[in-house]
């Protein structure tokens, strides 16, 4: 084996080792988003979600009806944004006459789904060891 090839081989081997060790040492990809919701209220909110059949038209974690968008992370848009849709309706989304309390509980539920991770498949990556983690 010629000298340049040997050097190239050693350099690539070193790069492989550095890259591999950096992947196995990086724990940050396993971290969850901080959870900031009221556990008791989010249960109430889940009942309101079920009672009003939101899942007929909307998905959570990609599962549900496909008339409206996935709402797993809609809490990022804020309470008033969601409340406006419920009060006014839009296109094929009906108006829901929820009390303010119900609406707040529903928001607590949507904050909980939001805190569990992202529903967008593009936010996930497959690691070299086959694990699927959120970016
Ligand atoms: C009959 C079908 C239907 C039902 C039931 C329904 N929605 Fe919708 N919803 C839609 C459609 C369709 C849209 C998208 C409207 C558009 O932008 O044209 C939508 C949009 C929304 C949006 C805005 C999403 C965004 O990212 O802009 C929110 C929030 C929402 N719905 C919440 C709810 C909640 C909460 C419930 C249950 C209380 C519910 N919806 C029930 C059809 C529905």
Res 94: pLDDT: 96
Kindly give the residue spans of alpha helices, DSSP state H, lying in 28-99: 39-51, 79-88
Report the nearest atom of ligand 1 relative to the CA of 54: 37
Q: Is the CB of 12 under 6 A from ligand 1?
A: no
Region of 4 please: left (phi>0), alpha (psi -120 to 50) or beta.
Answer: alpha
Q: Is the CB of 106 under 6 A from ligand 1?
A: yes
Chain mean pLDDT for the chain: 90
Q: Is the pTM of this model over 0.85?
A: no
User: Which one of 44, 57, 70 would you pick to mutate in the ligand 1 pocket, going by the greatest count of ligand atoms within 8 A of its CB?
Assistant: 57
Are the C-beta atoms of residues 75 and 110 closer than 8 Å to each other?
yes
Q: Is the CB of 60 under 6 A from ligand 1?
A: no
- Residue located nearest, by CA, to atom 1 of ligand 1: 93
Per residue in 54-78, pLDDT tens?
999 999 988 999 999 999 999 999 9
User: What distance lies between CA 66 and its chain's CA centroid?
Assistant: 17
Euclidean distance between CA atoms 60 and 119, whole angstroms: 7
Residue 22: pLDDT band by 50, 70, 90 thresholds?
A: confident
């Amino acid at each position: 084996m010629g000298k340049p090839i040997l050097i190239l081989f050693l350099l690539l081997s070193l790069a492989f080792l550095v890259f591999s060790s950096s992947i196995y040492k990086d724990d940050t990809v396993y971290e969850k988003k901080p959870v900031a919701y009221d556990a008791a209220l989010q249960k109430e909110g889940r009942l309101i979600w079920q009672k009003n059949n939101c899942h007929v038209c909307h998905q959570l974690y990609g599962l549900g009806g496909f008339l409206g968008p996935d709402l797993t992370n809609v809490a990022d848009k804020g309470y008033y944004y969601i409340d406006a849709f419920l009060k006014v309706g839009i296109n094929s989304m009906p108006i829901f006459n929820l009390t303010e309390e119900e609406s707040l509980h529903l928001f607590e539920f949507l904050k909980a789904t939001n805190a569990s991770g992202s529903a967008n498949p593009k936010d996930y990556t497959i690691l070299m060891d086959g694990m699927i983690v959120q970016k």
